[in-house]
Structure 1
Amino acid sequence: MKWTPVSCLCLLALGGCQAMPSSLPSADPPPAESCYFPSDDPATLTASVDVLTEWGFSLDASDTQLGLLTASREKTLHGYSDLYAEPRLRPRTGFHVFGGLGSGGGAGLGVGVGLGGGFSQPPVEVERVSLLWDRQHMRVSRDIRRFDQYGSLREGRSASSDGFCQQLQRALSAQTATGDRTP
């Protein structure tokens, strides 16, 4: 291929489209102030595991040397398959259990029977909580992500809200005050 000044100019123009972002992404909305609180009890991480497990989270990762704990829980979103479906694939009227019966947008009536589940899964919401303890303070970070029936990320947001962090703070205080710790 012969390089002409026009093709070089086009290449430079396309290279400008690949510029680095001017700023790093930030949490939106920002974490609440109550997500950073004093905590100097050595049993804080153990109590955190206990509290999050009681709330239905499963432990994903932990490092006691760093004071890091990550846990998550997953919830099936019933009824979200139609929300995340392509508009042209959504049924207009009708019902379906193991097949389908419905009427289309024009003239006609169709009856279909489908056997087998296909390759899709139900849409899910994954809530992840990360705790960082520096032996004096606890920092809480929480996010919620929603995945469609094909496993693609559809929504994601920071969820480090004041209500969640205060509830966690109270539960940790109660857990460490009673001395109810598992070794």
Structure 2
Amino acid sequence: MKAIPLSITCLLALAGCQTVPDRLPQAEPAPAAACYFPTDPSGQGDTLSVVTDSIDVLEAWGFALETTDTELGLVSASREQELIGYYDRYDYDYGYGSGFRLFGGFGIGRGVGIGVGGSFGPAFGQQPVEVERVSLLARDGHLRISRDIRRFDHLGELRESYSASNDDFCRRFQETFEQTTSTQGAS
């Protein structure tokens, strides 16, 4: 009988340990209840006017529109800000931010080549950035808000990402939205 190598045996044992997730991925924490509110008590609101008023609020807050679909009642916008003095607490755990990086490579093709490059210290002129994205869905006289925040380090690598559909942001948006609609309705 032929002997099975130990590595294949371990691989087969680990393959048997694979499990199927018990639930689909979802936003955590879950969006706050204030992120879903009525725009028209009768439920027959004009989606176009809701989308237009929502865009006015987002632009007043410094967001730039990415996409809009008036038929679906969908608006997507984002804003970006530099993070001065941003520090990632996990920066040094895996060699990131250590002040020296060395890249190298070896390739064979129509010749042989070796490449080595390095960088010292932080990348000057590049700041860590925070990107805040907001998506709005106006449908059936209600408005649903979804918001997430992503932070990138000075090398452009994603460091943090989380759902930020919290009570504070959604309530402020709702109040500003209602002021905008009442102002435009009075004129």
* TM-score, normalised relative to structure 1: 0.72
Amino acid in the other structure paired with 1:67: G
Q: Conserved in 1, the CA contact under 8 Å of 2:123 and 2:155?
A: no
Q: Does residue 1:72 correspond to 2:89, yes or no?
A: no
Q: Gaps (5+ residues) in structure 2?
A: 100-118
Decide whether aligned partners of structure 1 residues 120 and 148 sit closer, same or farther in structure 2, where only a CA change above 3 A counts: farther
Deviation at 1:73, TM superposition (A): 0.4
Q: Show the counterpart of 1:10.
A: 10
* TM-score, normalised relative to structure 2: 0.70
Q: Does residue 1:145 correspond to 2:150, yes or no?
A: yes
- For the residue of structure 1 that corresponds to 2:168, the secondary structure is helix
Q: Which one of the candidate residues 98, 101, 122 is aligned to 2:127? A: 122
Q: Show the counterpart of 1:33.
A: 33
Q: Gaps (5+ residues) in structure 1?
A: 92-113
Q: CA RMSD in A?
A: 3.0
**Which of the pair is proportionally richer in strand?**
2
Q: Show the counterpart of 2:105.
A: none
Decide whether aligned partners of structure 1 residues 82 and 128 sit closer, same or farther in structure 2, where only a CA change above 3 A counts: closer
Q: Conserved in 1, the CA contact under 8 Å of 2:123 and 2:154?
A: no
Q: Show the counterpart of 2:174.
A: 169
Decide whether aligned partners of structure 1 residues 125 and 8 sit closer, same or farther in structure 2, where only a CA change above 3 A counts: same
- For the residue of structure 2 that corresponds to 1:126, the secondary structure is strand
Write the deviation string for residues 87-135 of structure 1: whole angstroms up to 9, x where unpaired.
77558xxxxxxxxxxxxxxxxxxxxxx9xx9587211011111101113
Decide whether aligned partners of structure 1 residues 153 and 17 sit closer, same or farther in structure 2, where only a CA change above 3 A counts: farther
Residues in 2 aligned to 1:124 and 1:70: alpha-carbon distance in whole angstroms = 19
- For the residue of structure 2 that corresponds to 1:62, the secondary structure is strand
Q: Conserved in 2, the CA contact under 8 Å of 1:82 and 1:90?
A: no
Amino acid in the other structure paired with 2:70: T
Amino acid in the other structure paired with 1:154: R
Deviation at 1:85, TM superposition (A): 4.5
Task: Choose 36-45 or 14-23, whichever is displaced more.
Answer: 14-23
- Fraction of identical pairs, as percent: 52
Count matched residues: 156
Decide whether aligned partners of structure 1 residues 15 and 138 sit closer, same or farther in structure 2, where only a CA change above 3 A counts: same
Decide whether aligned partners of structure 1 residues 46 and 21 sit closer, same or farther in structure 2, where only a CA change above 3 A counts: same
Q: Does residue 1:60 correspond to 2:66, yes or no?
A: yes
Q: Conserved in 2, the CA contact under 8 Å of 1:68 and 1:130?
A: yes
Q: Conserved in 1, the CA contact under 8 Å of 2:145 and 2:165?
A: yes
